[in-house]
Amino acid sequence: MIEVKDLSQDNLNDIFQVCKGVADAFNIPENDFVIKGKEKRIKWLKSMLNEYGPCTKIAYIDGKPVAQLLYYPEKAMRYIKNRRENVIHIQCIVSPFPETQRLGVGSALLSKLIDECRQGIEILDWEKCSYLVAYPFPSVIGIPFSEFYFKMGFNQGEDEYYKEISSRYYPRKKEEYIPLIEDKDKVILFYNPTCEFGFYYVNAVKKVLEENFENLPVKIFNVWEDYEEYLKRPQQTIVVGRATVNQQTVNDFLFWEDVDAWLIEIRDRLEHGL
């Protein structure tokens, strides 16, 4: 039987048991950057609990945490412009354990959230949610996110999936990315502390860059704390990490898929610029 619980101070560590399954699936080591990323995520989770209330739901089977759903109000995302009222942003649904996949844990988590959004939810001061939005990233665990969200009644919006709850969906007006002179011949890395692997990701990128490009300036920013830096370089909503190389954005997923191809792209952008 699947049991769904809200995140609290008492079960805070359960989410990291779920994410351990993600680390194992991607062969991510328990190094200093992952540990530091966990510390940053705990700090963020506690601040969200204090200011808004539970922002994560955890699924249990036989008392074991097996999946989680991370969400928060769009109004809390200070690093994006044109934030919409009473809109909930779904960052991720994680169900990494093969033995519990296709048992309905992801559906149980999202169904619980949808029910609360219809009635009035704590993170919106007990008001009804206008609509849910999600920015799914490529999945190598379980079914594709697009298939899952469509199954749960979501539609394709502008660079996002959405599910109307109490109001009609309106896409958020996106800001055009304008390259900054101050970014010339530099690499700017952003990470999202809502995921402990964000800090690991940007430091893994930084290490590869330092090994392949001598004296290349690299700056790292936390989008929740250094949100003004991200606002200066508007891109799509950040899930884990984003990179700007010599005034140009790059495909961050290519780093994980083929680091040699990613390095070729980086070298080209450093040599030619804008």
**Residue 163 predicted with pLDDT over 90:** yes
**pLDDT digits over 180-205, tens only?**
999 999 999 999 999 989 999 899 99
**Residue 257 predicted with pLDDT over 60:** yes
* Nearest CA among 266, 232, 225, 263 for reference residue 249: 266
User: DSSP state, 121?
Assistant: B
* Cα torsion angle, 29, 33, 36, 38, sign: negative
Amino acid at 158: E
pLDDT band (50, 70, 90) for residue 140: very low
Helix, strand or coil, per DSSP, at residue 34: helix
Contact between 25 and 75 (Cβ < 8 Å):
no
Task: Please report, rounded to a whole number, the percentage of residues in the chain having pLDDT higher than 70.
Answer: 93
Q: Which CATH superfamily is domain 2-164 in?
A: Gcn5-related N-acetyltransferase (GNAT) (3.40.630.30)
Instruction: Give CATH 3.40.630.30 domain extents, the chain.
Output: 2-164
Among 41-50, 73-82, 101-110, 141-150, the minimum mean pLDDT is found in 141-150
Helix, strand or coil, per DSSP, at residue 207: helix
Among 116-130, 143-157, 236-250, the minimum mean pLDDT is found in 236-250
Q: What is the pLDDT of residue 146?
A: 78
**Residue 142 predicted with pLDDT over 60:** no
pLDDT mean over 170-181: 86
pLDDT mean over 39-50: 96
**Residue 243 predicted with pLDDT over 90:** no
pLDDT mean over 163-177: 91
pLDDT mean over 266-271: 89
Q: Distance (Å, rounded) from C-alpha 132 to C-alpha 164?
A: 7
pLDDT mean over 249-261: 80
Q: Would you say the pTM of this structure is higher than 0.75?
A: yes
pLDDT band (50, 70, 90) for residue 101: confident
Among 134-138, 151-155, 240-244, the minimum mean pLDDT is found in 134-138
State the fold for domain 181-272: Glutaredoxin (3.40.30)
**pLDDT digits over 64-91, tens only?**
999 999 999 999 999 998 999 999 999 9
